[in-house]
Every structure is written in structure tokens, then in C-alpha cells.
Copies of this chain bind each other. A is one copy, B any other.
Amino acid sequence: MSNKRVWLFREGNATLRDLLGGKGANLAEMTNIGLPVPPGFTITTEVCTEYYATGRELPAGLMEEMTTALADVEKDLGKKFGDASNPLLLSVRSGAKFSMPGMMDTVLNLGLTDEIVDALCKVSDPRFVYDSYRRLIMMLSDVAYSDKYEHISKHDFEHLFADLKKELGVKEDLEVDAEGLKKLCEQYKAHVLKVTGKDFPQDPFVQMKEAVEAVFRSWNNDRAIVYRRKEKIPDEIGTAVNIQAMVFGNRGDDCGTGVAFTRNASTGENVVFGEYLMNAQGEDVVAGVRTPLEIADLQKANPAIYQEFDDTCKKLEAHYKDMQDIEFTIEHGKLFILQCRSGKRTGPAAIKIAVDQVNEGLITKDQALLRVDPELLNHCLLPVIAPGTKYATIAKGLPAGPGAATGIAIFDSERAAELGKGGLGQNVILVRAETSPDDLKGMLAAQGVLTEKGGMTSHAALVARGFGIPTVAGCSEISVNAGKKEFTYAGGTIKEGDLISLNGTLGEVINGSVPVEPPMMTGEFGTFLGWADSERTLGIRTNADTPEDTELAIKFGAEGIGLCRTEHMFFEGERRPVVQRMILAENDAERKAALDELLVFQREDFKGIFEALKGKPMTVRLIDPPLHEFLPSLASLIEEVAVAKASGKPDAAKEELLHTVEGMHEINPMMGLRGCRLSIVFPQIVEMQTRAILEGAAAVIKAGGAAKPEIMIPLVGHVNELRFVRERLEATAKKVVEEQGVAIPYEFGTMIEVPRGALTADEIAAEASFFSFGTNDLTQMTFGFSRDDSDKFLKPYVAQKILPGDPFESIDQTGVGLLMEIAVEKGRKVRPGLKMGICGEHGGEPRSIAFCNKIGLDYVSCSPFRVPIARLAAAQAAILASKGGAERDK
């Protein structure tokens, strides 16, 4: 711990964010580069930690250090804190390492007392003085007392103000004159005395102590905790406190205040962008009581100030080399900068600014690449609600599939398929309690999907992201009644046919329609991702099962398919009955007949994808899910059979089917007869698939194209499983090559998705041409978490910080990651240069991508819409790795 607890602004700099907080470090930095910052000092974050460590006591000696620093400020301004003749007023603000806008407390006008107010009234506008005083009483009481006493929050003081305005017969604050505000101050003070039993402090140093403590306490108020959780900001870093001389934008018409960005935060355009108000305080701009003016207007109204402000913006950008978000105040014609920080921006703006700044020579390409949060690229790819649209959200769920969609609510998949894409062409939003593979048809026909249950990795969410369907999942604020064809929410009911909209990017459900715009693919976007490609060493593939998705992914930059799931093809319309016939076949002849039918379908599937790939490689996973997934559910059959029997009309065929489904029922299907186990017990299916893949490839090759099939055997835990399946399929493959008479450059490899597969990767590598990490299943088995059932405990786990985050979103590097590292090391020891990738959902998540880069995978594979994100994340990982492996800053 540093000994110095209190830092004057001129003593600090921008590198001291850990100690001084973001705001304090920036105030120091701005002070030192000569910007007009009101003087002040910062109490370090370490004091906050000490405050909590010692049971909420300010450390001994702190007040003395503050007094010393204060003397410096006083000397600088020629004013004195608590001196009625020439009083210095102060602001007290929080400032953590990471920005937490509005979450913690602020106190302004500190240093006003009855005596000083009286004195000031003689030299200043009394209305301004009493207005400042009443704000101080309200703010300090709110932050310093409301956690001990009831009825002393801002809200209570506003009640008193409202009563007074009523009494005076006026509506607006500004209509209350100095006399009125004086009376209000008396009422405020009386209220404080009544509630707390003590007078409002008349010693400015007591005010200061109470304000500092209140700011420290606000580090742990509810909204700050919630915000930190959401933004993954550690709880233990604490906040600094900034104490600064007040400047006033509300002392007359030559005063004003405003907020501005050095460039347009929405489009990225290189012009100052913001709002201001003359004769006003900062909160007036934010509160919307008066309509603020565009910053451009200042140029006409006050060219000199504008010029000074514009120069300051340029100076700040040149200094920080990033777009800045600035708060400023004009006091009697003099400009003060109160705060600056890196400005939040949309995805398109982020990219344009980064590209422009490189072109302007402000930053390097590496800096540009590191500056853009990969997740922001989502904004550039998906249909969005037209910027600026005002809309009311009726419920919020999980942002499961980004993008916006508008359509009529439909509650069953059949109906959605009839009405939607591929049917009557209406815009449909499919609303379900939860979705199952049965809903695929309806989902594909819908513009968007809304489910009441299921998490970010639920079926609905996986399909949504895979197919780019805007989706809000796990929306527990609605209650779906499929029977009645309606859902209810807090404020009402939506029935079939009602128009609703979804903002899948934010998880919002909207009543009625909103204007939706197509994604932007500007020139800067291409340039920027081009830079990313030249930096990254990881390959980027996509998870795709159709020619359409494949084409889209290639447009987005995919270099091949890392995961083509063959079973999705089995669910589609006319195939499902054939698949069921295959499963229910009573003899080999029946089964073969069904498989022969499926072969025709699958061969065409693969041919189409190979054509779309134009010679890029495709990893095809052989059938993985348990066969009972293709049959009707056990529960529905039990019910149907029971009802038929009870009604005196027993249904023998249904009973037979029930018997079969019961026989196939599994208690834990995730760990049952699936993956390569299926291939071993029912080899005919994968023999058919192998044939279909290679015949599809052969057709493309014969037509003059190229095709690179990589056949992937899933769920291997023991080398013998792979050897057994591979030997049989190699035989089929050789036969097809012979029949077709063309060379097909096929390979056989395996998924590493069972812990034992990772642990024995050396044995397995001897039989595999490539590995692909299936981190979804690997995470399930390493933790013993069923993804389908984990909602009930994963949410509380993350909320209570038992886990740092959802391991299905970002790879658990300590546990699952260790297995991956073991597999990489053991695999390459036996087969140097073994090709390795990842095809779980994690393949599109930036921190997981950085991890894959670190452990030396060859590529990541993700859904088409995440391909650009992965390209950027991979570039960032490569740049940071070359710098010694630091993490991207928040």
C-alpha cells in the first residue's frame, strides 16, 4: 500500500487508474497537460479498501492530509474553505478504476453554511446562493443519512419542494424566487433535524468528512453491486473520491454547462457531438427539463468559447489518442473541463473512428484493432431497430439471438411454418414456452423467436445464433399459454396475431411494430477486418449445415466449415418420417430401405455445401444425438395411450410405439447411446453418411470443383472407439472412391469432448488426423453440469459468485481449459502438427478465442454471424500474445 493517501491533481497522471480511479487519473492528466480543470485532489482507492477493512472508519490522519491538500487548492484559487468572506465551495465525487456511470454518490456545493450563505448573498445573486444551498442540504442528507434514517432521501426533499411550489402557486423550480428558496432551505434544515435529531452540519469540514464517507459507502449500494456484477468489475478494488473546487454554470447568462463527444458516438463521424445549456447546472442537461442545444449552436452563440472548446477537444484526442466523452462548464465566460473519459460508441462508430484515427496517423493498426470490443461487431451485422426509434419494452429476457424483428405472435410451429417464410410469407414471431427440435420448422419460418424458458445455450438460443434468428429466450417476465394462444406480461396480454417486436441484441420484447433496418457493411468494416486478418494466426471456420449459411459465413470471412452437424438435416420436413422408419425398422431390409432414401437426401445436402465452399475444407460430424430424439416424446405417448385406453378406444399402434420409445428411453441421454456409441451399435447409419459425404464430394470434383471432406467421429473417450469406427468407415470410403473413380482428399478425425478423450489424447492422436474440441459437452462433463438443466443452479451460482461466469459462455480455463491443454500437449507429442480446432459455442466468444490462441489451436469455428467477431478476437489475441499475453483492457 502506498503511504500517500491524498493526491493533488497536479501530482497524478493517467497511469494511476488503479490508485486514483479513472476520473481522478484523468483529472490529473488533464491538469498536467494544461487544460482548464478546476483544482482539487483525489483520495485513493486504497483508502476505500482501508475504510471497509477497518469496519467503516476513515483512517486516522486522513482529514489532516485532506486539509493540507485543501490549502494548496485554496492558495491556487485565492479562496478559503469555510471562510464567509471568500468561500471555496467543493464538489465530492466517486471515481472507480472502471467507469460506473451514475451508480455511486456525488455531493456538490460543499462548504455552504448559514453564515456563508448570508455573506455570499451580499456579493452574489441570492437566488443562486439559496438554490446552491438547498441542493447541498438535499444531496448531503440523501447520501450521508438515508442509509441510517427513513424519509431523508432526495425524494423526500423533492416532496417538500413540490409542497412549497403548490403553496406559491407555481409549477417550475425556476419560478421560485430567492425568498422562496430561502424558506425552502429552512424547511430542509428543519426536516434534517426532525429526522436525524441533529442540525444540518454548519462546520464545512464535518460536511466534507460526511460526504467522503458517504461516497465510500456508496461503493456497496445495491445498484453499484448489480452494475459491477453485470460488467464483471471486481468488488474488492474500491472507489477513489475526487474533491474539486466548484465552478458554476448557473451564475448567469455568461455561464453554461454541457456534455460532448469529440466525434459522433453513433456514426463515428469526425465532428464534435454533444449538447449544452446556458445558465444551467449539469443535471439540468441530463434531466431533460429544458431542451439542450446542439454543440454546433455554440459556434454561432459564442465563437470564442466554441473555438476554445474545439481546441480542447483536439488536444484531448491528440493526447489520449481516442475519442473522448467530456463534461464542461462555462463560468462567467471562462471554460472549465470537469471530466473526460474514453467515449462509449456503437459498433459502426467504433470501427469508423478506429479506421479514421489510423488514417489520421493518430494510432497504429494494432491499437485500432485492440480498441474495438469484438462483441460490438454484432451491431454491424444484424438487422437493427432504426437508430433513434423510441419504443416501450414490455418484458426483458436473455439476448439469445441478436438482431431485431417484427411480426405477428404465433404460438405453434406448424402455424408459424404455414404463415411465415416458405409459407404465406408473413412476418411471424414464434412464441413458445420453450423450443424443441420439433419447432425447427417454425423457427426457420419466423422472423424472430421468443421463449419463456431456456438459457443462452438452450435449444432455441443455439438454433437462433446458428441460423441468425433474432431471439429472446428465457423471458421469465412473460407467461406463455400455448393452449389459449396467448402470453401475458406484467401489463397485459398478447394474443395470436398481435404485432410484437423483439430486440434480440438486448433481450427486449416490444408491443407493436418497430422499424427494422438491414445490417451495415461499410467500407471501413472491410478495411478493419482486413487488418484483423493480417494480424491473426488462428484460422476462422464456421458451424454451418446448409449451403445458405455456408455462403453467408464465407461472405463474413469464414475459411471453411469447422462443424457441419448432420442430424439437423434429419429433422427437416419430409426426412423425419424416413428417419423414424429407419429407427423403427424391424429387420435389416426395412432399415436399409430407409437408409437408402436418406442417402439420396444427404448426398444432395453435402453436394450443395461443398459447392458453396468452393474447395474450402468441411468438417462433418457424423450423427451424434440419441435416436429417440427423432421419435415422439415419451410423455406425450404415455398421455395419448392412457387417454385412448380410458376412453375405451385403445390404440394398438400407439401402444406399440410407446413400447418402443420406452425401450429407448434414457435416464441421462446426454451420457447415453449417442455419438460414436451409436456408430458402433448401429454402424449402418454412419456408413450411409460417409457414403453420402464422399459421393457429394465426388460429384463436385467431377464437375471440375474441389472438395475437402474431414469426417469427424464424435464423443470418443477411448482410442478403441475411434479405431473401431474409423476402420469400418475407411472401408466404406475406399469403396466409394473406387466406385466414383476420382481422388477425394478425405480425412478422418475426432472430437475431443469427453474428459477421457482429453486425458488420453496421446492414444487417440495415433488414430486421428485432426482433433476438434467440443467444448459444450466437455464443459458439461468436466463440471457435471447438464446444460439443459443447469439454469436452476447456474444462475444462483453466478449471482453468488460461486462461479466467475457461465462456463457455457466463456471457457472455464482452469478446469476445462486444463483438459484442453493436456490434450494439445499429449496429442502433438504423438502426432506433431496435429490439426486442432474448436467447434463448441465458445469458438465465437472472444475470451475463449484468446485462450484457444494461447494453447496453440489451429482454428476456431463459430456460427456465421460470429465469424467477424472471431476474426477480430483472434487478431487481438495474436497482438496481445506478441506483447507478452496481457488481456485486453475493459
Interface residue ranges, A against B (CB under 8 Å): 634-635, 638-639, 642-643, 645-647, 666-673, 677, 680-681, 715, 717-718, 720-721, 724, 753-756, 759-760, 763, 777, 780-786, 788-790, 792-793, 796-797, 800-803, 812, 814-816, 818-819
Contacts and interface: CB of A to CB of B under 8 A. Distances in A.
Contacts of A670: 667-668, 671, 784, 786
B756 A816 contact: yes
A800 B680 contact: yes
A717 B782 CA distance: 8
B755 A819 contact: yes
Contacts of A763: 814
Highest count of chain B CB atoms <10 Å: which of A635, A681, A781: A781
Given A646-B647, A680-B802, A786 B667 contact: yes
Given A666-B786, A667-B788, A789-B666, A815 B756 contact: yes
A670 B669 CA distance: 10
A815 B681 contact: no
Nearest to A817: B759
Given A667-B786, A793-B681, A803 B673 contact: no
A792 B680 contact: no
A759 B786 contact: no
A677 B669 CA distance: 21
8 contacts: A671-B781, A672-B789, A673-B789, A680-B797, A680-B802, A717-B784, A759-B815, A760-B814
Given A755-B783, A759-B814, 10 more contacts: A642-B642, A667-B788, A668-B670, A677-B797, A717-B783, A720-B801, A755-B784, A756-B812, A756-B815, A760-B818
Given A720-B801, A796-B680, A800-B680, A760 B671 contact: no
A634 B637 CA distance: 13
A558 to B, nearest CB: 29
Nearest to A646: B646
B668 A788 contact: yes
B777 A671 contact: no
Nearest to A796: B681
Contacts of A755: 755, 781-784, 815, 819
Nearest to A666: B789
A774 to B, nearest CB: 11
A715 B784 contact: yes
Contact of A634 (B635, B715, B793, B819): B635
A579 B745 CA distance: 61
Contacts of A756: 782-784, 812, 815-816
Contact of A668 (B642, B717, B786): B786
A818 B670 CA distance: 23
Contact of A792 (B635, B673, B793): B673
A269 to B, nearest CB: 47
A818 B759 contact: yes
A775 to B, nearest CB: 13
Contacts of A789: 666-669, 671-673
B720 A802 contact: yes
Nearest to A670: B668
A177 to B, nearest CB: 56
Contacts of A797: 677, 680, 721
Nearest to A818: B759
Nearest to A672: B789
A668 B626 CA distance: 13
Contacts of A803: 718, 720
A379 to B, nearest CB: 34
A235 to B, nearest CB: 14
Contact of A642 (B638, B790, B818): B638
Interface centre among A797, A802, A818 (most CB of B within 10 A): A802
B635 A642 contact: no
Nearest to A793: B677
Contacts of A800: 680, 724
Given A639-B639, A724-B800, A802-B718, A669 B667 contact: yes
Nearest to A720: B802
A797 B722 CA distance: 12
Contacts of A814: 759-760, 763
Contact of A802 (B646, B669, B721): B721
A780 B780 CA distance: 12
Contacts of A777: 784
Contacts of A635: 634-635, 638
A645 B781 CA distance: 41
Contacts of A780: 671
A439 to B, nearest CB: 16
Nearest to A675: B784
A724 B802 contact: yes
A681 B792 contact: yes
A720 to B, nearest CB: 4
Nearest to A803: B718
The 7 closest A-B CB pairs, nearest first, are A668-B786, A671-B786, A646-B646, A756-B815, A672-B789, A667-B788, A642-B642
A410 to B, nearest CB: 24
Contacts of A718: 783, 802-803, 815
A86 to B, nearest CB: 56
Contacts of A646: 642-643, 646-647
Contacts of A669: 667-668, 786, 789
A420 B95 CA distance: 75
A470 to B, nearest CB: 26
A802 B723 CA distance: 9
A452 to B, nearest CB: 13
Contacts of A681: 792-793, 796
A481 to B, nearest CB: 13
A230 to B, nearest CB: 19
A785 B674 CA distance: 10
- Could you say which of A720, A759, A783, A786 has the most chain B C-beta atoms within 10 Å of its C-beta? A759
A195 B753 CA distance: 57
Contacts of A816: 756
A816 B759 CA distance: 9
A752 B715 CA distance: 23
A790 B477 CA distance: 40
A461 to B, nearest CB: 16
Contacts of A673: 789, 792-793
A660 to B, nearest CB: 14
A754 B642 contact: no
A715 to B, nearest CB: 7
A819 B759 contact: yes
Contacts of A801: 720
A587 to B, nearest CB: 19
Contacts of A642: 638-639, 642-643, 646
B671 A785 contact: yes
A85 B759 CA distance: 70
A680 B815 CA distance: 21
A717 B818 CA distance: 14
A720 B669 CA distance: 29
B671 A784 contact: yes
A673 B635 CA distance: 21
B785 A759 contact: no
A647 B870 CA distance: 58
Nearest to A816: B756
Nearest to A639: B642
A672 B720 CA distance: 30
Which of A639, A724, A760, A819 neighbours the largest number of chain B CB atoms within 10 Å of its CB? A639
A635 B785 CA distance: 24
A680 B671 CA distance: 25
Nearest to A721: B802
A878 B212 CA distance: 68
A691 B667 CA distance: 33
